[in-house]
Structures are given as structure tokens and as C-alpha cells.
Amino acid sequence: MTIYDVGEEKDVAFIAMDYMRGQPLRAYTEADTLLPAVEVCTLLAQVAEALDYAHRQGVIHRDIKPHNLMYDEQDGRVKVTDFGVARLADTTRTRTGAILGSPSYMSPEQIAGEPVDGRADVFSLGVSAFQLLTAELPFQGDTLAALAYQISKQKPKALHELRPDLPTVVSRVIGKALQKNPDRRYQRGAEFAETLRKLSTRLAKELS
């Protein structure tokens, strides 16, 4: 979202930003509110492109989740919000051992408190995609330790079992974003965006 001004007036700090119609994509993560798969892929391609831009400016979001993605149904646009825990991609400023963000959406390296790059945001977007398609998170645990173990060591839930109506290619596309090893994920947001757009086109044909 565009920030127009930042300042202080009579000891009150303020940020002036875009007024955004719509609501967070979190509203579409329940079984009875899921968006069509084609629409999910199209919207998240926009997010992946936005993240690619941020990453090229040296900014890692670190808290990508449906709650922070504002969707305006009137014009079909989605915007990335809440860069509150974002950091500059400068390894000299990295603080290891600190966990910042929402654990359920974190990459293995992030939840371990290790240095992260843009591929951590790609993982989080993969988790968001999984949830927006199935109404479930791919990794779950009753405690932070249990959740961290699931994210770091266990395979995600099988998307095709939760959504047997979708072709298996959907599982493969999302599965690549959820790889434990960052080197095996989409290396850039632009790569993930291109794949999501192709998937959206394919689904539109197959599900029509």
C-alpha cells in the first residue's frame, strides 16, 4: 500500500496511506467462503509480483499471510500490507535467534531464527495459497515447538486429498513453494507469479 506521508503532530506520530476498499483475504479461508481456485491463483500472482518488487529493493516482508493481503473485489486487485516486521536484506544487520512474524506461515529458516531472504516470503505465500485453497493450514501443532517441528521436518498435508476436485498440478505448484530447502523453492517472486498465472489459465480451461 502506498505511504503518502509520515510525521509527528503534537507528539502524535502518524502515517498517511492509501484508503483501501475490500477486506483481508483471511475472510476467504473458511470452508464456506473459499474463492474459486482460478481466482486464488490470479490474486496470489499479484502478491508474488509485489514481493518480487520489494525483494529487488532489498526488503523482506517476513509476515506474509492472508490477514495482510487486502482484496478489493470491485477491481480484482490485492495489495500487500503490514510491513511491520520487514527488514532490509543486509546480512550485516541480521539478528539470528529472533522469531518475528506469524509462526504458522513461517519458513523453516525463519522459525529457526536464522537469516532469511526473499525465499522465506515465497514459502509464506505458499502456506497462504494452501489455506486459501483448502481452508486448512499445511502445518499445525498444539504448541510452538510442535508447529516448528512440523514446519522444519514434516511433509505438509496432501493438498490433493483435501481438494480432490483440483488437478494434481496444483499440488506440485504449491508444493514447490513449500520446500524445506530454500534452494528448491521458487527463487524469485516473479518466478512464482509466472507459474501461478499459467496455472490459473490451465485451471480456467480444465474446470470450465
DSSP H stretches of helix in the chain = 37-56, 108-111, 118-134, 144-153, 159-162, 168-177, 189-206
Our answer to whether residue 117 is catalytic in this structure is no
155 Cβ contact partners less than 8 Å away, ≥ 6 residues apart: none
The CA dihedral of 138, 140, 146, 151, to the nearest 10 degrees, is 20
Phi-psi region of 72 (alpha: psi -120 to 50; beta: other; left: phi over 0): beta
The position carrying cell 515447538 is: 145
Report how far residue 109's alpha carbon sits from residue 112's, in angstroms, rounded to the nearest whole number: 5
Name the catalytic one among 11, 18, 52, 63: 63
Q: How far apart are CA 152 and CA 146, in angstroms?
A: 10
- Written as nine digits, the cell of 115 is 537469516
Give the closest residue to 150 by CA, choosing from 178, 121, 122.
Answer: 178
Non-local CB neighbours of 81 within 8 Å, separated by 6+ positions:
1, 20, 68, 69, 70
Active site residues: 63
